[in-house]
Amino acid sequence: MDTIRFLLRDNDTKVDMAILVIRIGIGFMFILHGYPKLFGGIEKWISLGELGPGSLGIHFWYP
């Protein structure tokens, strides 16, 4: 019954909740996407440098 009352309330609350859910979802996806890149070690950074800009002649400085 509380769920029905929640859904029938004014639209401002529903819009705020929808935006919150979308922001949390997108933030979680960014975390899942970026975590391996940040904490993958030097091997991950070297491979990222060789795949993207390295093919265009732009090289990262690494040992």
Q: Is residue 48's pLDDT more than 80?
A: no
DSSP codes, 12-43: HHHHHHHHHHHHHHHHHHHHHHHHHHHHS-HH
Q: What pLDDT does 24 receive?
A: 98
- Mean pLDDT value across residues 39-59: 69
Structure tokens given for 47: 């491979």
Tokens found for residue 57: 């002649």
Position 43 confidence tier, pLDDT thresholds 50, 70, 90: confident
Would you state the structure tokens that stand for residue 56, as one six-digit string? 């265009």
Sequence-ordered list of residues with C-beta below 8 angstroms from that of 44, at least 6 positions apart, any chain: 36, 37
pTM exceeds 0.75 for this model: no
Please write the tens of the pLDDT for every residue from 1-39: 677 777 666 777 788 888 999 999 999 999 999 888 888
